[in-house]
Amino acid sequence: MAVEVESASQVLEFLGVLRRRLLWIVVPLAISATLGSSFAIIVPKKYVTSTKILVREPTEGLAGAAPHSQRDALVAPHEITALERIKRVLAALKWPEYLELSQVDQLAFENKVKANLKVSQPAMQRGAEATVVNITFAHTDPERSYEFLGAISKLWMEEVERRGRTAEREILSQLRGQRDTSTNRVYEIITEIQGIRIAHDLPPPDARIAVIPSVVPLQQAVDSAESQIGPLARDIEQLEKVLEQTRQEWSTEPPTIKQSLKESDSVDNSVEINGLRQEIAKLRQAQQGLKQTHSTHRNSEKHIEELSNTIKILEDAEVAGSSREQEVVNEKLGQLQRKIDNQELELADGRAELAALKDGLEENRAKITAVQDAYARIHGLEAERALVDLRLDQLVPQITAKEALLMKLEGPAGNPFGILEEPEMPDVPTEPDPLVIVLFSIVLGLGIGLGAAVLLEYSRSCFRSVRDISRVMVVPVLGTINAIETRRQGRRAVLARAIVGTTTFVLVGCVSYVTWAWKEQPERLSHDLRNTIEGLREQFE
C-alpha cells in the first residue's frame, strides 16, 4: 500500500530557503554594516548651539506706542535666516574658509549656513504679552557654532532695538513737522486777515454789529444812483425827441425870404454881413481843439456853411437894391439854430451826467462785492484757524507722549529682550547619531540580503518542495529523492562561495582600514584619498 510523504511546513520551508541562500544574506549584511560604521565615523558631527530669547513690548502701557518688537518677533524666522544678514555676520566673523571663496562659492556657503540655522517660535497662550524665539545653529566646529549663533542673535536684537527707536523718532519728527506747519499756517492766516482789513479799510471785528459797516455808505450811494438814473434817462429821451423835432423844423425853413421894397429905398446889408462874418469867426474859434468827427465840429461846419450862403445872398441883394422885391435872411432860421445848439448842449450834459451816475453805480457795486468777498475770505480763514488750533491742541500731548516714549526706549528699560537660555559652547556632537546610522545600515543590509535571497529562490519556475508537487499532481507523492550533486559541481560551489567570501572580506577589510587610518593616522592614506574623503564630508556638513 502506497504511503503519502508528509511535506514540511511553510516556516520550515522558508528557513530552508534561508539556509540555502545564507551567503546572499550575509554578504550584503556585512558590506552594509561596514559601510554604515565607516560612514558613522567619517561623517562630520555637528555641534548644535541654541538660545532662547524672550521678546516683550517695552512700550506697553504708554499712550501712542506702536508694537514694533512684537511685529519683529513674529517675522523673526524670516529676518534672522535672511541671506543678507548671514552674509554680514560671516563678513564680521572673518572666517578664512568663507573669505577665500569666490562670490559664487560664498553664496553656496551662505545657503549651507542658512540650512543649519533654525529659528522657531513655540505656541504661546492667547493674549500673551511676550513671544519666545528659539534659535539653533549646527556646525562641525563647536567654537564656530557658538560664535556664529551669538553674533547673529546679537545683530538681530540690535537691529530690532534700532528699528524700534528709528520708527518712533520718525513718528516724533512727523508730529513736530505737523506742529511747525500748523504754527506757520496760523501766522499766515493772521497776516492775511490783517492784510485784507488794511486793503479794504475794514474795522476790527465786532460781534455786536450784524451789518458790515463799510457796506452801508456804499449801499446808500448805490440806492441814490439807481433812483436818479431812471428819471434822468427819461429826461434825456424826452430831450432827444424835442431836439429831433427842432431839427426837422429847422430843415423845413428856407435860408432867405422875399421882402417887398420901395423903389426909392436903397439896400445896405453891410451891418448884417459883418455880424454874420463875426459869428463865423466865433464858430471857427470854437472848433479849435475838436476832432472833425466830433458832433459839435460837424454842426459848426454846417452852421458856417449856412452863414456863408446867407452872406452871399445879402451881397447879391445889395447889387439888386433897385428891384421892388428882394430876398433877405430868414431870421427864424438863426433862432432855430441857436435853439438846436442849446438843446444839444443840454443833451450832452444830461448824457455825461447819466454816464457818471452809471460809472459810479458800477464802481460802488464792485466795492460792495469786494468788501463782501473780503469778509467771506476772513470768515473762511477764521474757520480754518479754528481747525488748525484744534489740531495744535491735539498735537501737543501726542508730541509729549512720544518724547517720553523715546526717552524710555533710549534707556535701559527700552530693551525688549530677555535671554531665557544663554548660548553655551557644546561639548559633544548631537547630530548625526552614530548608533542610529549603524543600526540603520544593519537593517538595510539585512533587508537587501533577505530580499535578494527570496527573489532568487522564488523567481525560478520549478518545484522546490513536496508541497509544490502535491498541488499539481493527481496521484499522491510516495517519496522524495535528494538533489544529486557531482564532485565537480561541489567544487565549483565551494569555489564560488570562497571567492564571494574572500571578496567580501577584502572589501570589508579595506573599508575598515581606511576608516581606521583616517581616524587615527591620516598620513597613511594618499593625498587624493584624503581629499576624496574630505569632499564627501563637505557634502554632509
Render pLDDT for 192-205 as a digit per residue (tens, 0 to 9): 998 988 887 777 76
- Is the domain of 143 the same as that of 104? yes
- Determine, yes or no, domain membership for 4: no
- Determine, yes or no, domain membership for 182: no
Please, which residues bridge with residue 329 across strands?
A: 256
- Can you tell me the distance from the alpha carbon of 267 to that of 64, in angstroms, rounded to the nearest whole number? 120
Q: Using 50, 70 and 90 to split pLDDT, how confident is the model at 2?
A: very low
- Determine, yes or no, domain membership for 195: no
Q: Using 50, 70 and 90 to split pLDDT, how confident is the model at 4?
A: very low
Contacts of 479 (CB under 8 A, 6+ apart): 5
Render pLDDT for 25-38 as a digit per residue (tens, 0 to 9): 888 888 888 888 88
Pairing of strands 256-260, 325-329: antiparallel
The three cell numbers of residue 429 are 556632537
Please, which residues bridge with residue 421 across strands?
A: 52
Residue 432: cis peptide before it, omega within 30 degrees of 0 = yes
Q: Which of 68-72, 199-203, 427-431, 534-538 has the lowest mean pLDDT?
A: 68-72
Torsion over CA: 186, 192, 198, 201 (sign):
negative
- Is the domain of 522 the same as that of 461? yes
Render pLDDT for 402-446 as a digit per residue (tens, 0 to 9): 888 778 777 766 677 888 888 888 887 777 778 888 899 889 988
Amino acid at 384: E
Flag whether pLDDT at 89 surpasses 90.
yes
What is the model's pLDDT at position 207? 42
- Is the domain of 234 the same as that of 172? no
The three cell numbers of residue 416 are 525688549
DSSP state of 144: H
The number of angstroms, rounded, from the C-alpha of 512 to the middle of its chain's C-alpha atoms is: 66
What is the model's pLDDT at position 387? 93
- Is the domain of 254 the same as that of 158? no
What is the model's pLDDT at position 221? 83
The number of angstroms, rounded, from the C-alpha of 325 to the middle of its chain's C-alpha atoms is: 111
Query: Residue 139's closest CA among 179, 196, 180, 98?
Result: 98
Mean pLDDT, residues 69-98: 87
Cβ atoms of residues 395 and 173 within 8 Å: no
Flag whether pLDDT at 158 surpasses 50.
yes
Mean pLDDT, residues 239-250: 84
- Determine, yes or no, domain membership for 374: yes
Cβ atoms of residues 167 and 342 within 8 Å: no
Flag whether pLDDT at 507 surpasses 50.
yes
What is the model's pLDDT at position 463? 67
Give whole-number Cα distances, 171 to 395, 403, 406, 477, in Å: 12, 10, 10, 100
SS3 236: helix
Q: In the chain, count H helices and then E strands.
A: 16, 6
Packed helices 487-520 and 527-539: angle between N→C axes, nearest 10 degrees: 80
- Can you tell me the distance from the alpha carbon of 13 to that of 454, in angstroms, rounded to the nearest whole number? 12
Question: Total structural domains in the chain?
Answer: 3
- Is the domain of 238 the same as that of 320? yes
Q: Using 50, 70 and 90 to split pLDDT, how confident is the model at 67?
A: low
- Sheet with 130-139: list strands edge to edge: 117-120, 130-139, 47-56, 417-421
Higher pLDDT among residues 62 and 397, named by residue: 397
Cell 509729549, located at residue: 400
- Determine, yes or no, domain membership for 208: no
- Can you tell me the distance from the alpha carbon of 284 to that of 125, in angstroms, rounded to the nearest whole number? 116
- Is the domain of 373 the same as that of 414? no
The three cell numbers of residue 387 are 481747525
- Is the domain of 106 the same as that of 25? no
Percent of the chain with pLDDT over 70: 84
- Is the domain of 469 the same as that of 333? no
Mean pLDDT, residues 480-493: 77
SS3 319: helix
Q: Which of 216-220, 257-261, 328-332, 466-470 has the highest mean pLDDT?
A: 216-220
Mean pLDDT, residues 309-319: 72
Flag whether pLDDT at 152 surpasses 90.
yes
Q: Which of 20-24, 216-220, 264-268, 370-374 has the lowest mean pLDDT?
A: 264-268
Query: Residue 269's closest CA among 329, 192, 358?
Result: 329
Higher pLDDT among residues 248 and 125, named by residue: 248
- Determine, yes or no, domain membership for 202: no
- Is the domain of 238 the same as that of 281? yes
What is the model's pLDDT at position 500? 83
Q: Using 50, 70 and 90 to split pLDDT, how confident is the model at 63?
A: very low
Query: Phi, psi at residue 342, to the nearest 5°?
Result: -65, -40
CATH code of residue 112: 3.30.1890
Q: Using 50, 70 and 90 to split pLDDT, how confident is the model at 277?
A: confident
The answer to whether the predicted template modeling score (pTM) of the entire model surpasses 0.85 is no
SS3 120: strand
- Residue range of the domain that includes 503: 10-43+444-539
Q: Which of 156-165, 252-261, 447-456 has the lowest mean pLDDT?
A: 252-261
Q: Using 50, 70 and 90 to split pLDDT, how confident is the model at 490?
A: confident
Q: Which of 198-202, 228-232, 325-329 has the lowest mean pLDDT?
A: 325-329
Percent of the chain with pLDDT over 90: 14
Q: Which of 122-131, 352-361, 454-463 has the highest mean pLDDT?
A: 352-361
Cell 562670490, located at residue: 103
Residues 536, 539, 541, CA angle at the centre, nearest 5°?
A: 110
Flag whether pLDDT at 328 surpasses 80.
no
Total Cβ atoms within 10 A of residue 327: 17
- Is the domain of 71 the same as that of 36? no
Taking all residues of the chain, what is their mean pLDDT, rounded to a whole number? 80
